[in-house]
Amino acid sequence: MYHYTESGLPNVFLKNGYTAAIIGGEECTSIEDIDGLHQAIAESIIANKKSLSKSEFKFLRVELNLSQKVLGKRFGVSEQTIARYEKGQSVIPRTTDAALRSLYAESRYKNNPVSYFLDLLADAEARQAEEKILLQEIHNHWERVG
Protein backbone atom coordinates (compact mmCIF):
# COMPACT_ATOMS: atom_id res chain seq x y z
CA MET A 1 0.00 0.00 0.00
CA TYR A 2 1.09 3.53 -0.70
CA HIS A 3 0.67 6.25 1.92
CA TYR A 4 -0.51 9.19 -0.20
CA THR A 5 0.74 12.13 1.88
CA GLU A 6 0.88 14.41 -1.16
CA SER A 7 -2.82 15.10 -0.61
CA GLY A 8 -2.02 16.95 2.61
CA LEU A 9 -4.12 14.41 4.48
CA PRO A 10 -2.52 12.02 6.97
CA ASN A 11 -4.96 9.13 6.46
CA VAL A 12 -5.02 8.37 2.71
CA PHE A 13 -3.63 5.02 1.57
CA LEU A 14 -3.76 3.57 -1.93
CA LYS A 15 -4.22 -0.14 -2.43
CA ASN A 16 -3.53 0.08 -6.18
CA GLY A 17 -3.70 2.57 -9.05
CA TYR A 18 -0.09 3.63 -8.69
CA THR A 19 3.29 2.57 -9.98
CA ALA A 20 6.47 2.74 -7.91
CA ALA A 21 9.89 2.76 -9.58
CA ILE A 22 13.48 3.55 -8.68
CA ILE A 23 14.80 6.37 -10.85
CA GLY A 24 18.30 7.70 -10.29
CA GLY A 25 18.49 5.89 -6.96
CA GLU A 26 15.27 7.48 -5.67
CA GLU A 27 11.89 5.86 -5.30
CA CYS A 28 9.31 7.62 -7.45
CA THR A 29 5.60 7.00 -7.48
CA SER A 30 3.28 7.68 -10.39
CA ILE A 31 -0.46 7.78 -9.77
CA GLU A 32 -2.95 6.87 -12.45
CA ASP A 33 -5.97 9.20 -12.70
CA ILE A 34 -4.95 11.76 -10.07
CA ASP A 35 -8.10 13.81 -10.75
CA GLY A 36 -10.29 10.78 -10.09
CA LEU A 37 -8.31 10.02 -6.95
CA HIS A 38 -8.80 13.54 -5.58
CA GLN A 39 -12.48 13.38 -6.43
CA ALA A 40 -12.82 10.09 -4.52
CA ILE A 41 -10.97 11.57 -1.52
CA ALA A 42 -13.22 14.66 -1.51
CA GLU A 43 -16.37 12.56 -1.80
CA SER A 44 -15.20 10.40 1.13
CA ILE A 45 -14.61 13.55 3.18
CA ILE A 46 -17.99 15.14 2.46
CA ALA A 47 -19.83 11.85 3.12
CA ASN A 48 -18.21 11.44 6.55
CA LYS A 49 -20.41 12.62 9.42
CA LYS A 50 -17.58 13.78 11.68
CA SER A 51 -16.51 17.42 11.70
CA LEU A 52 -13.94 18.44 9.12
CA SER A 53 -10.34 18.43 10.27
CA LYS A 54 -8.08 21.35 9.39
CA SER A 55 -6.43 19.32 6.62
CA GLU A 56 -9.78 18.15 5.20
CA PHE A 57 -11.03 21.75 5.18
CA LYS A 58 -7.94 22.84 3.25
CA PHE A 59 -8.13 19.87 0.88
CA LEU A 60 -11.73 20.74 -0.08
CA ARG A 61 -10.89 24.44 -0.52
CA VAL A 62 -7.95 23.59 -2.78
CA GLU A 63 -10.06 21.10 -4.77
CA LEU A 64 -12.60 23.89 -5.30
CA ASN A 65 -9.72 26.03 -6.57
CA LEU A 66 -10.66 28.84 -4.18
CA SER A 67 -8.24 31.13 -2.42
CA GLN A 68 -8.61 31.74 1.30
CA LYS A 69 -9.72 35.27 0.42
CA VAL A 70 -12.49 34.17 -1.96
CA LEU A 71 -13.75 31.46 0.39
CA GLY A 72 -13.69 33.92 3.28
CA LYS A 73 -15.78 36.37 1.26
CA ARG A 74 -18.31 33.65 0.47
CA PHE A 75 -18.57 32.72 4.13
CA GLY A 76 -18.63 36.33 5.35
CA VAL A 77 -15.34 36.01 7.25
CA SER A 78 -11.82 37.28 6.72
CA GLU A 79 -9.06 35.52 4.83
CA GLN A 80 -7.25 35.22 8.19
CA THR A 81 -10.20 33.33 9.67
CA ILE A 82 -9.97 30.74 6.88
CA ALA A 83 -6.21 30.50 7.48
CA ARG A 84 -6.83 29.94 11.21
CA TYR A 85 -9.26 27.08 10.40
CA GLU A 86 -6.62 25.48 8.17
CA LYS A 87 -3.90 25.85 10.80
CA GLY A 88 -6.14 24.45 13.54
CA GLN A 89 -5.98 27.75 15.45
CA SER A 90 -9.78 28.20 15.37
CA VAL A 91 -12.60 25.70 15.56
CA ILE A 92 -14.42 25.36 12.24
CA PRO A 93 -18.07 26.26 12.92
CA ARG A 94 -20.49 23.49 12.00
CA THR A 95 -22.33 25.81 9.59
CA THR A 96 -19.05 26.59 7.80
CA ASP A 97 -18.25 22.88 7.69
CA ALA A 98 -21.64 22.10 6.14
CA ALA A 99 -21.38 25.01 3.69
CA LEU A 100 -17.96 23.88 2.43
CA ARG A 101 -19.22 20.32 1.93
CA SER A 102 -22.24 21.70 0.05
CA LEU A 103 -20.04 23.90 -2.12
CA TYR A 104 -17.98 20.87 -3.11
CA ALA A 105 -21.11 18.81 -3.81
CA GLU A 106 -22.47 21.66 -5.93
CA SER A 107 -19.24 21.91 -7.91
CA ARG A 108 -19.28 18.17 -8.51
CA TYR A 109 -22.94 17.47 -9.16
CA LYS A 110 -24.23 20.89 -10.30
CA ASN A 111 -27.52 20.27 -8.50
CA ASN A 112 -27.57 22.87 -5.81
CA PRO A 113 -27.20 26.68 -5.93
CA VAL A 114 -25.24 26.95 -2.67
CA SER A 115 -22.58 29.32 -3.96
CA TYR A 116 -25.22 31.71 -5.28
CA PHE A 117 -26.88 31.91 -1.86
CA LEU A 118 -23.56 32.22 0.00
CA ASP A 119 -22.54 35.10 -2.30
CA LEU A 120 -25.93 36.70 -1.81
CA LEU A 121 -25.64 36.42 1.98
CA ALA A 122 -22.08 37.77 2.01
CA ASP A 123 -23.09 40.74 -0.17
CA ALA A 124 -26.15 41.46 1.95
CA GLU A 125 -24.11 41.31 5.16
CA ALA A 126 -21.48 43.65 3.69
CA ARG A 127 -24.12 46.15 2.56
CA GLN A 128 -25.90 45.92 5.90
CA ALA A 129 -22.67 46.56 7.82
CA GLU A 130 -21.93 49.64 5.71
CA GLU A 131 -25.44 51.07 5.73
CA LYS A 132 -26.08 53.98 8.04
CA ILE A 133 -29.48 54.68 9.44
CA LEU A 134 -30.17 58.40 9.51
CA LEU A 135 -33.24 59.46 11.47
CA GLN A 136 -34.89 62.75 12.19
CA GLU A 137 -37.75 63.72 14.41
CA ILE A 138 -40.72 65.12 12.54
CA HIS A 139 -43.96 66.10 14.27
CA ASN A 140 -43.19 64.16 17.46
CA HIS A 141 -42.14 60.90 15.79
CA TRP A 142 -38.95 59.59 14.24
CA GLU A 143 -38.58 59.01 10.49
CA ARG A 144 -35.78 57.68 8.41
CA VAL A 145 -34.14 60.24 6.16
CA GLY A 146 -33.21 59.24 2.60
pLDDT the model gives residue 145: 74
CATH of the domain at 82: 1.10.260.40
Cα 115 to Cα 25, 26, 85, 104, 143, distances in angstroms: 47, 44, 20, 10, 37
**Residue 93 belongs to a domain:** yes
pLDDT for position 106: 85
- For the whole model, what pTM was predicted? 0.74
Between 11 and 125, the higher pLDDT residue: 11
Under the banding of pLDDT at 50, 70 and 90, the label for residue 92 is very high
**Domain span including residue 113:** 2-131
Distance CA 116, CA 123 (A): 11
Domains: count for the chain: 1
Helices and strands in the chain: count of H runs, count of E runs? 6, 6
- Is residue 143 situated within a structural domain? no
Each residue's pLDDT tens digit, 14-40: 999 989 899 999 989 999 899 999 999
Say if 145 falls within a structural domain.
no
State mean pLDDT over 84-113: 87
Residue 9 lies inside a defined structural domain of this protein = yes
Burial of 118 (0-12, 13-18, 19+ CB in 10 A): buried
